Structure 1
Amino acid sequence: MNHTSLARRLAGALLLIAPLAGHAARQLELSSPDRQLRVTIDTRERLSFAVSHRGTDLVLPTPIGMTLAGIGTLGEKPRLTGQQRRSVDHTVRPVVAQKSREVRDHYNVLQLDFAGGYALEVRAYDEGVAYRFRTTLPGQVTVENEQAGINLRPQDTLYWPQEKSMQSHNEHYYQALAVSDAAGKLVGVPALVQNGGVHLVFTESGLRDYPGLYLHGETAGLRAVFPKVALADTARDDRNVPVTQEAGYIARTDGKRAFPWRILGISANAGGLLLNQMPYLLAEPQELKETSWIKPGKVAWDWYNGNKLYGVPFKSGLDTRTYRHYIDFAADNRLEYIIMDEGWYKLGDLLAVKPEIDMPELMAYARQRGVGIILWVSWKTLDTQMTAALDQFARWGAAGIKVDFMQRSDQWMVNYYERVAREAAARRLLVDFHGSFKPSGLQRTWPNVLTFEGVKGLENNKWSDKQTPEHDVTLPFIRMFAGPIDYTPGAMSNAHRKDFVASFDRPMSQGTRAHQLAMYMIYESPLQMLADSPSQYRANPSSLDFIRQVPVEWDESRVLHAQLGRYVAMARRRGDTWYVGAMTGADGRDLELDLSFLGDGTYQLESMEDGPNAGVFATDVQKSSAGVTRGSRLTMRLAPGGGWAAIIRKTK
């Protein structure tokens, strides 16, 4: 069960300050525990905030507020009535350990109360700052707009997740450009900004009953924009349901509530972003009480290769025999789940199983072999048939659902995500949100939600040549900052860019085999896919043997090397065993592996490395072994687009 340990320290007793004179000019400051970050809140004519890092301005004064119909704009001519300060330092133990088994929640907080029934809560962590509004207004309120964003220097570098509209799968490539060059363009979140050597990621958490955040480029910054409340939509098919009529407001919600957190993760180096857990810590507390049934794990996935097998004594396809083969593959390799992706039901009716598939037989066989089955569903059909379909899935004994193609983040759709999470949890079903917006805290509130897409993942190799190794070593610093990432790694057909061919039926990846193996240590997903087919894995037994040993939850994570868009190397611990992964972009490189993070005693290192000819043949991977201690220093040699992966077990 998710719980918070007793506070190690609650410093800074609550300070209650008497109402302040309305005419007094007020600028208030809040510093991080290590005093490296400072937030300045201006409460004079217009509520605004600014952030500095080690004395250097990072976010320039930025107006913030909310416009409510019939009430006005909270934050205009604010009248400060009181403030409360405190320091918090305690430990959170997540149900699902993504980066670590325990998470330190250490911050200073300032709450400012204003006349008119609203407050601003600001938190300063060593790893960044966040703020949110609270209101104590009667009944329902209509939010016409929220004023948010970050004012920056025009010459700051934005890693720009470009969007065409707010009806989106939120799958991005990241183009680096000056902030001023993004003026007039729509930007997705998370978005990353570089100011000198400092890295800042802007995103949100605690998103409930409110639309998701986007950004609009301005000459000197990024301004928040939101999808408006949908008054009408038109279903083109079972998945594409664009909004055709919008209201003049972004949300209608309870007047007594806390609104979503606006988060700025900040680090003097890119590697710090990989360990930042602010989006999880700022999420709404867990609502699900009984969680012992939630089992993260690895998944044999059918869709990447379209159920196409070879070396089997039957013609493969969307049928019972093929899925029995997937179940056998999962059981033989200690994989917890298989997915039955699109095609198992007649589109438009989740209760109409294709005649080629005997679902009761498959569920019984999977149960016999100790494998769970996760069922793909199109979101609109699930919305129409939710109770009947989920009840049927539970009767069958399904382990979970993969919900796809939402493509929206208006208030109704945000609430749909939570409705799915709640209804699935009531039937002990896990959830994978595909075709989704970025994680925004739901996985803490409903820990049966294990992972989200919202990423340009491996499947794009089926139709595009843009899924490059450079992209692979960029997204951990940006998209993965928000939460778990359903990239679906594990391609066994690998090629360098000059040899790569997009193929829908026989897909390959760019970069080396070891690059793919390292993803299992770098990319965090408590429901982690093996994207390629059983036939491909059986033809590459050393790679399969490595993958099946890698966990999906971590007791501890460490960054070994990191440079945005160029390379990343991490070490993860589960029990006494360490797992190391390193990936590089277009350039080959050598990285030192300093094993001082190991405990006392001796260890055996088993690695999968780029072979001596991996620069030409991307599939060239070699297995190596060595005895090591915490005093050992090794060299990880990575080919262009390459990788390095190892499991380090204690021997005595």
Structure 2
Amino acid sequence: MTPLIKKTNKMTMTNKVLTLFTIALLLGLSQHTVAQNFKISSRDNQTTINVNVDKQITWSVTKYGVEVLPEVKIDMSVDGKPLAENPKILSNKTITYNAPITAVVPHKSKEIQDVYNELQLKFKGGFGLQFRVYDEGVAYRFHTKKRGEIEINSETLDITFRSGTRSLFPEEKSMYSHYERLYLDKKLDSIASGQFCSLPVMFNTTDAIRILYSEADTYDYPHMFLQGNSSNKLSALFPKAVAEIKPQPGRRVDRNVIITKEHSYIAKTNGTRTFPWRFFVISNEDKTFIEQDMVFKLSSPLAIENTNWIKPGKVAWDWWNANNIYGVDFESGLNTATYKYYIDFASAYNIEYVILDEGWTKSTTEILGFNPDIDVKELIRYGKEKGVGIILWCLWKPLDENMTEILDTYAGWGAKGVKVDFMQRADQYMVNSYTEIARECAKRELLVDYHGAFKPAGLRRAYPNVLSYEGVRGNEHNKWANYITPEHNLTLPFIRMAVGPMDYTPGAMRNAQEKNHSINFERPISLGTRAHQVSMYVIFESSLQMLCDAPSAYQKDEHTARFISQIPTIWDETKALHARLGEYLAIARKNGDNWYVGAMNNWKARTLDIDFSFLPEGDFEMTIFKDGANANRYAEDYKIEKINVDRNTRKTINLAKGGGWTAILKKR
């Protein structure tokens, strides 16, 4: 009996060990083979993100019942190791958020309603993810919680689109760029490996759904680019952190550099932080891209206490018109008399600022002293007397090398702001430089306008003294090219302007239809009608809005100048009335008690019906600036008229080829 009992006990122990081993093995395998899925939808239930956590992290988006983004793969390589390889979830949480944001400098709306549902995932290994779903789009970002500094070697974003998707592709030849691109209509599978674009970028699906992609809240981190591989997939590309540079030999030694050495990483940064939001605006209505404000909503809140000194406004600008002043008793050019004339013009037309562009300094590198023919201190004094502020242009490179002394000097003179030019990069150091300039200028109550710049990515919410960015192929290109067409002008609001203000520099007073156009660097001519240029003051968003032509040109046609001078540069409310990318656009905007309507057209003459039901109760006097009867032949032909309207008014407007229509509505 005893041996039998011993044998039985031995077998029982063996079975127990095998059972425990089997359970442990199955548990271990389950952690690697059983995927976890999460779903989160927008408030209107039209948009849904499906997140899949398996051996890697992927997600997809459904909108209007269509899977518009079949697969998005994401990861980050930190200190040489991928974060999301066999990821293990520690916790998940869903929140709903609904609160207003008040914009200090409103480009679309003063009160922005921030409404979203958010999925929060926390993973083993000290990282997490946030997914947000808005009615107008989706967004995600990583965050990490690690000690000390970390190196981000790379970031993975592989976006797979539906077959047949096309892109309006702002192709770059180099990441060293002014980011002033045309939008090339390309099938995704025609974009080969090695071809890449800057952001923002627009995609058009075969289901007539548009998808805009860009980023927000980008701090201490490079900007993203997207590259192709001859398929329906695009992947993230980043500039490496710069280790060494040297000046480019030749005539542009003061502004262009050659990157001679790069680090192996794209960013070295704090180990505990959030990373930039990556977002998609998705809609089958083009109006959505005009009215949405995703970058602002996804960006860090106000970082400065006193904002009362920040005054948006219009600017009389010198460089585009080559100081072509006439009918005066002095020789125009880079001299004190010319700029006093600009100040007199600005004062007479209630224009808030004059920019002294390239040429006012002793040299482009010696920017603490001025050109002996220009007395900057006297111009600032004279401008103050006339109620006009002076903004000073400078190159980024010398500013970066001596920022404290230069900004102290400009502020000490009484300048109102700086226009910083020729950054031309989007690596981590340059992104940090933008932040430093904004912060240091805010300390000294200086406004900022970035030229030679990448696109807006959220800095202006934290530092509302940042009033505008270039990063747009705008009116200046009319000085040397003929591709700034009405179609291009009607592409910009849906893509580039969708991420923030753009310093396009409107206001050309020499205008031509396509067959009459010619290129003239000293006396540039715009494509499209005079009314097309005027409508930009309502349609194009920039709280520091230029009048690009010469004071003499505006004074010669005082009616145009007086009309433009009445249009503000910030807006309490924005409503898109008609919108078709590349074809036409009509927008109504509110400032105080007044409303403003702008309409623009491509090369096809058309009519649009304007419904004034956006108006409050009461009667309004409407002053209209529209294409003249002969604008299809002579682009400078226009007509100004006044009529009375109310919220029950419906009006059909006529737009010439490359035409425009603008109305100022004041309550009676």
TM superposition score normalised by structure 2: 0.93
* Consecutive unaligned residues in structure 2, runs of 5 or more: 1-28
Q: Per-residue displacement from partner, 1:596-630 (whole Å, max 9, x unpaired)?
A: 11111111111010000000000001011111111
CA RMSD of aligned residues (A): 1.1
* Consecutive unaligned residues in structure 1, runs of 5 or more: 1-19
Q: Is the 8 A contact 2:165 2:232 kept in 1?
A: no
| Structure 1 letter corresponding to 2:93 | Q
Deviation at 1:292, TM superposition (A): 0.6
| Structure 1 residues 421-500: aligned runs within 5 Å | 421-500=438-517
Specify the alignment match of 1:570 in structure 2: 587
| Structure 1 residues 250-265: aligned runs within 5 Å | 250-265=266-281
Specify the alignment match of 1:117 in structure 2: 126
Deviation at 1:242, TM superposition (A): 2.9
Q: Could you tell me the percent identity over the aligned residues?
A: 46
Specify the alignment match of 1:269 in structure 2: 285
Specify the alignment match of 1:222 in structure 2: 234
Give SS of 2:576's match: strand
Q: How far apart are the structure 1 equivalents of 2:516 and 2:274?
A: 52
Specify the alignment match of 2:6 in structure 1: none
Deviation at 1:352, TM superposition (A): 2.0
Q: Is the 8 A contact 1:489 1:520 kept in 2?
A: yes
Deviation at 1:263, TM superposition (A): 0.8
> Is the aligned partner of 1:205 residue 2:216?
yes
Specify the alignment match of 2:302 in structure 1: 286
| Structure 1 letter corresponding to 2:312 | P
Q: How far apart are the structure 2 equivalents of 1:601 and 1:115?
A: 61
Specify the alignment match of 1:161 in structure 2: 170
Q: Per-residue displacement from partner, 1:171-202 (whole Å, max 9, x unpaired)?
A: 01111121111232111110000112211110
Q: How far apart are the structure 2 equivalents of 1:287 and 1:533?
A: 37
Deviation at 1:21, TM superposition (A): 7.5
Specify the alignment match of 2:12 in structure 1: none
Deviation at 1:154, TM superposition (A): 3.7
| Structure 1 residues 47-66: aligned runs within 5 Å | 47-66=57-76
Specify the alignment match of 1:233 in structure 2: 245
Specify the alignment match of 1:243 in structure 2: 259
Q: How many residues align?
A: 631
| Structure 2 letter corresponding to 1:114 | F
Q: Is the 8 A contact 2:50 2:60 kept in 1?
A: yes
Specify the alignment match of 2:429 in structure 1: 412
Q: Which has the larger radius of gyration?
A: 2
TM superposition score normalised by structure 1: 0.96
> Is the aligned partner of 1:192 residue 2:207?
no
Q: How far apart are the structure 1 equivalents of 2:469 and 2:598?
A: 22
Q: Per-residue displacement from partner, 1:408-451 (whole Å, max 9, x unpaired)?
A: 00000000101111111111100000110000001011111010
Q: Per-residue displacement from partner, 1:115-140 (whole Å, max 9, x unpaired)?
A: 00000001000010000000001111
Q: How far apart are the structure 1 equivalents of 2:504 and 2:158?
A: 28
Deviation at 1:638, TM superposition (A): 0.4
Q: How far apart are the structure 2 equivalents of 1:238 and 1:32?
A: 50
| Structure 1 letter corresponding to 2:203 | V
Stretch moving more, 61-70 or 162-171: 61-70
Q: Which of 35, 60, 69 is the equivalent residue of 1:25?
A: 35
Specify the alignment match of 1:108 in structure 2: 117
Q: How far apart are the structure 2 equivalents of 1:375 and 1:425?
A: 15
| Structure 2 letter corresponding to 1:192 | M
Q: Is the 8 A contact 2:107 2:571 kept in 1?
A: yes
Specify the alignment match of 2:45 in structure 1: 35
Q: Is the 8 A contact 1:229 1:411 kept in 2?
A: yes
| Structure 2 letter corresponding to 1:172 | R
> Is the aligned partner of 1:533 residue 2:550?
yes
Q: How far apart are the structure 1 equivalents of 2:370 and 2:295?
A: 39
Q: How far apart are the structure 2 equivalents of 1:75 and 1:632?
A: 57
Q: How far apart are the structure 1 equivalents of 2:257 and 2:653?
A: 48
| Structure 1 letter corresponding to 2:401 | T
Give SS of 2:332's match: coil
Q: How far apart are the structure 2 equivalents of 1:158 and 1:127?
A: 19
Specify the alignment match of 1:335 in structure 2: 351
Moved over 6 A (4+): none
Give SS of 2:320's match: helix
Q: How far apart are the structure 2 equivalents of 1:486 and 1:81?
A: 46
Q: Is the 8 A contact 2:441 2:447 kept in 1?
A: yes
Give SS of 1:624's match: strand
Give SS of 1:597's match: coil
Q: How far apart are the structure 2 equivalents of 1:489 and 1:332?
A: 20
Q: Which of 97, 101, 105 is the equivalent residue of 1:92?
A: 101
Q: Which of 331, 340, 343 is the equivalent residue of 1:315?
A: 331
Q: How far apart are the structure 1 equivalents of 2:30 and 2:570?
A: 52
Q: Is the 8 A contact 2:364 2:394 kept in 1?
A: no
